[in-house]
Amino acid sequence: MDPKTPRSRHKRTTEKPRKTWVRVLVWTVLFVLFTGGGAFAYVTYKTFQTANGTQTELRRGDKSDKRETTVDLTKDHFSVLLAGTDARPGDTSSRADTLIVATFNKQGKKVSMLSIPRDSLVYIPYVEREDKINHSFAHGGIDATIETVENLLDIPIDYYALVNFNGVVTIVDALGGIEVDVLLPINTLDSNDKRQSIQLEPGLQTLNGEEALAYARMRYEDPEGDIGRTKRQQQVIQAIVEKSTSLSSITKLNGLLDAAGENLQTNMSLSEAMQLQPFIKSLNQVTRIELKGADTKINGGYYYQIDPTSLEQTKQELKAQLGLVADTGSTGAETETTDLPGESGDPAPADE
């Protein structure tokens, strides 16, 4: 977080009327990973049939300033930033309250995921000062958020998926609800800010869209604060993935694709998403990285102060997964690894 980091030059944003393939980023991953070619063919057809919006290019273009050449998805390791907002119609200053960086390692066939706490005190190049990282989106949109994350982690962010978290209501309801092990009692607002309208008790249960959103958003009643909120968001995302990939009837895909497409934006094209099909099917490991720190108050404001040692270890871990530094084994970063099953449901085979 170098306060001397120069403010980057921003070009005028150019909007091109063209096909937008926001559905593909999520659904290619889900359906190619867990289903056969028939489902993928249907999803692709549905995408071509219904995608007709506009795609806004990042101001920087298609290459991160931290790369010498544009990433080639057929051979290069790459990264994706998942940014979740709670924007409502008419909002002009929403914040990115969910930030997850995923690095995809082609050689190791694995994904590393880092959740950045929303109140992390970081340097935001767009405004040339420190602030909460979720404010970067309000300052300059997804461009400013990507620039901030790159500055914090010193890695390129190649792609992004911007998700309106309020769309969780529509998506979960389209799925017929999701099963979640609720970790703590919930008594909070619904998406219309109606008080005490969502009440949940701990335990495994099926949540509807409003309940899932409230469970993922609630923060102040959680003893773990922002960290607890991040864990619950990951629970909801994982439950959505599991329910999506266990659909027994392909007829549900119409509503599901429409619900997802209306709440997603990405800079990944359809052709790029299709290039990932063989790699996504071969994934065998997911590693979650924890960015340690502590709550603090500065001038009366609440912030999450990132631990410098943890940040440096996290940087090295992500760089190693992207092939930017030599992978020498453990970097000391706090990680938790999950093995993914192979296509038959058995553990994924080791590389030959």
CA–CA gap between residue 151 and residue 21 (Å, rounded): 28
The pair phi, psi for residue 54, each rounded to 5°, is -120, 150
Average pLDDT over residues 59-72: 92
Q: According to the model, what pLDDT value does residue 32 have?
A: 35
**Two domains, one topology: 15-166+263-339 and 174-248:** no
Q: According to the model, what pLDDT value does residue 57 have?
A: 72
Terminal CA-to-CA distance of the chain, rounded, Å?
42
Placement of tokens 């767009």 in the chain:
126
AA letter at 69: T
Q: What is the dihedral of CA 291, 294, 299, 301, to 10 degrees?
A: 70
CA–CA gap between residue 112 and residue 290 (Å, rounded): 11
Superfamily of domain 174-248 in CATH is LCP protein (3.40.630.190)
Highest mean pLDDT among 57-71, 144-158, 244-258, 268-282: 144-158
Residue 6 has pLDDT above 80, yes or no: no
pLDDT tier for residue 17 given thresholds of 50, 70 and 90: very low
Comparing C-alpha atoms, which of 212, 264, 227, 219 is closest to residue 82?
264
pLDDT tier for residue 89 given thresholds of 50, 70 and 90: low
DSSP of 182-225: E-S-EEE--TT--TT-EEE-SEEEEE-HHHHHHHHH--TT-TTH
Answer whether 304's CB lies under 8 Å from 295's CB.
yes
DSSP of 143-173: HHHHHHHHHHH-S---EEEEEETTHHHHHHH
- The 10 Å CB-count burial string (b at 16+, else e) for 243-270 is bbeebeeeeebeebbbbbbebbbbbbbb
15-166+263-339, what's its fold?
Nucleotidyltransferase; domain 5 (3.30.420)
CA–CA gap between residue 126 and residue 128 (Å, rounded): 6
**Structural domain boundaries of the chain?**
15-166+263-339, 174-248
